Amino acid sequence: MTRVKRGTTTAKSRRNILSQVKGYRFGRSKKEVQAQDAISHAGAYAFAHRRDKKADFRRLWTVKMNAALRPLGFSYSKFIDALKKKNIILDRKIMALLAEKNPETFANIVNEVK
């Protein structure tokens, strides 16, 4: 059996790792071990923050709706409760968009709930 040297595979692996950390600072962009560590942390953070982003947007919708509801004599929690009691099923994302872009339509919905 012939001898197989692994230099080319190792070089390819190293090139791949270092290309992924382009733009990172200090040893993380130059040293293979630190780069590998940086890649694994970056992946973990990206995974977690994709979920955090969804929660951030849900919070933003609540704030937008509450800001639009206050002048109409409602709070967010009382409005959501009234919606449920009237069996009006509307997405919070859509409601926040209406509150921001079409306040007249949103006011009509609020009057319907009252």
Q: Which domains does the chain have, with CATH numbers?
A: 9-113 (1.10.1900.20)
Close Cβ partners of 105 (under 8 Å, ≥ 6 residues apart): 98
pLDDT value of position 114: 85
Close Cβ partners of 100 (under 8 Å, ≥ 6 residues apart): 64, 68
Q: What percent of the chain has pLDDT over 90?
A: 91
pLDDT in tens, 44-98: 999 999 999 999 999 999 999 999 999 999 999 999 999 999 998 889 999 999 9
pLDDT value of position 4: 87
